Structure 1
Amino acid sequence: MLVSESVGQLFLQHEGGRDRIEYTEHGSGDRWVVLVHGLLMPRRMHLPLARALASAGLHVVTVDLLGHGASDKPADPRVYSMTAFGEQVVALLDHLGAEQAVIGGTSLGANVALEVAVTAPQRVRGLLIEMPVLDNAVEAGIVAFVPIMFLARFVPISVTALRWLTKPVPRRLMPFWIGIVLDTLDQHPGPVAAVLHGVIFGRIAPSSAQRKKITAPTLIVGHSIDPVHPFVDSEMLSSELPHATIQAASSILEWRMRPERLTKAAVDFAVSVWNDPGTSRRIAT
């Protein structure tokens, strides 16, 4: 089933001026789904899932948060935090005129979805969470991302050199996920350092007490053999949320290389959430 796709933009006003956020709409209607990318990754990573969801009759929006993809990338760490990212998603819903949406995300995007569910629960029809980064991921996250932050800040040529190498490679000639990796490596050092500083030194996710108050139906996808996104975090989140179910992926590669099973689960979940007239009443209470 072919669905329409269009690119839009949203401007966030602030004391210093305004920042531009870019997004893509897939499909139409008032059954909204918003998909949020992983850390430093572009919104295009969710293109296959967005098309599958839109083909099922949902109105899907993929967004580049500030500092990512085609959106503006200020080199100021003060503008980056999970809370700020959550506010950007709510601003996007306001801009689109979407009263509610299923909010989905991967890694960073998963935590941003949780932020939206805590700060604006009335806007969340459901949650589609892949690879949440919670209490058991702190040490591995520090090991993985603090060195990148230091290199971007103090050895910027390391990031710039990767950009010089990756930018000329034609994405259309590459397999989809190799293209996503190339896009992720195509960065400027200042914004990379700022994004990582803001994320690492801010709160990573809502507290357990806050998470336990989330009443939206939730599908959680967790991966084994992934220290930055340990499966125990997905299990913990599943036990905290009263209306959560969990799917175990064989690895971080399953949804990338063999997506049929998990994509079907995600589509079935999002459609069922919108088809259930009792969901809004449960969220309101």
Structure 2
Amino acid sequence: MSTYFEHGGRRLAYTVFGDGPRTTVLLHGLLLSQKMHKPLARTLAAEGHRVVTMDLLGHGKSDRPRDMSAYSMPFFGEQVIGLLDHLGVDEAVLAGTSLGANTTLEAAAAHPERVRGMVVEMPVLDNALLGCAIAFTPLMCALTFGEPVMKGVSWVTRKVPTGRVWGADVLLDTVRQQPGPSAAVLQGLFFGRVAPHRDVRRTIDVPALVIGHDRDPVHPFSDSDALVHELPDARLLRADSLLELRLTPERLTNEIAGFLDHCWAPRRAAAAA
């Protein structure tokens, strides 16, 4: 069950899986929730990691203000550091997908001493501008100008039984949310920066595993490939598709688990490896 902490006067939800001194924080995609990483969290917890999933502001069970100025990538990064402060964790591995990937970069850029390593799945960077505009502008317009209709869709989907099928449950949760705050999230992100500038990204000197895949204009593989060349200590892992980690996760999960072991190895041993 989710628990909560307060950051900047807002209540944010999180869930802890497993126990131990090695903490990994999993961060969800845009307008999704921490539920999307529940299977991965359980698997990594079984490997001896303390895994924490969280709902960023405007998502899942966290507070959802209708004020677009409450949402920005730097704000999301600070929320992750706020979670570490709340948990009393000096440093953690941060792992995020899409919005969560960019949030990971924001947190690491602002507070590198708190980040043991990064798993950056499907970052949204310089080459994604056109794809994001095509994908999310109609959605933002629908949520903003079609709010009465979207409220009806939200009401109907809340009547659908929940918790039976993980993937369907994750998607239904997104549609069940009230449209006004979701529109504010998109508006805030559209008028702010998408990620730290590439010159800043080049200074993030922590181990990084970057996961990308082909055939997705919102998460172009060229962004993942470019990021690996920008980060001082990164390697690239090519996924078969957008859904590999969700539907057939064994290969990628094993790679992530091995990377976490590398991050938590003693510093000299990790450097030698």
TM-score band (shorter)?
over 0.9
Q: 2:191 matched to which residue of 1?
A: 201
Q: Is the 8 A contact 2:263 2:270 kept in 1?
A: no
Listed as ranges, the gaps of 5+ residues in structure 1 are 1-5
Whole-angstrom distance in 2 between the partners of 1:111 and 1:242: 17
User: RMSD in angstroms over aligned alpha carbons?
Assistant: 1.6
Q: 2:248 matched to which residue of 1?
A: 258
CA change 1:279–1:235 in 2 (3 A) is: farther
Question: Deviating runs (4+, > 6 A) in structure 1?
Answer: none
Q: 2:7 matched to which residue of 1?
A: 12
Residue 280 of structure 1: how far off its partner (Å): 9.6
Residue 155 of structure 1: how far off its partner (Å): 1.4
Alpha-carbon displacement from aligned partner over 1:76-98 (angstroms, at most 9, x marks no partner): 00010000000100111000000
Residues 124-273 of structure 1: matches in 2 within 5 Å? 124-173=115-164, 175-273=165-263
Residue 171 of structure 1: how far off its partner (Å): 2.0
Alpha-carbon displacement from aligned partner over 1:97-134 (angstroms, at most 9, x marks no partner): 00000001000000000001100000000001100000
1:154 maps to amino acid: F
Farther-moved stretch of structure 1 (59-68 vs 184-193): 184-193
- Give the number of equivalent residue pairs: 272
Residue 245 of structure 1: how far off its partner (Å): 0.8
Q: Is the 8 A contact 2:262 2:270 kept in 1?
A: no
Residue 161 of structure 1: how far off its partner (Å): 2.4
Whole-angstrom distance in 1 between the partners of 2:175 and 2:235: 34
Secondary structure at the counterpart of residue 168 of structure 1: coil
Residue 96 in structure 1 maps to residue 87 in structure 2: yes
Residue of 68, 77, 98 corresponding to 2:59: 68
Residue 278 of structure 1: how far off its partner (Å): 3.6
Secondary structure at the counterpart of residue 68 of structure 1: coil
Q: Give the % identical residues.
A: 48
Listed as ranges, the gaps of 5+ residues in structure 2 are none
Residue of 24, 27, 34 corresponding to 1:33: 24
Whole-angstrom distance in 1 between the partners of 2:270 and 2:187: 37
Q: Is the 8 A contact 1:56 1:271 kept in 2?
A: no
Secondary structure at the counterpart of residue 219 of structure 2: coil
1:226 maps to amino acid: D
Q: 1:85 matched to which residue of 2?
A: 76
Alpha-carbon displacement from aligned partner over 1:245-267 (angstroms, at most 9, x marks no partner): 11111110111111110011111
1:254 maps to amino acid: E
Secondary structure at the counterpart of residue 171 of structure 1: coil
Whole-angstrom distance in 1 between the partners of 2:63 and 2:236: 35
Whole-angstrom distance in 2 between the partners of 1:280 and 1:266: 16
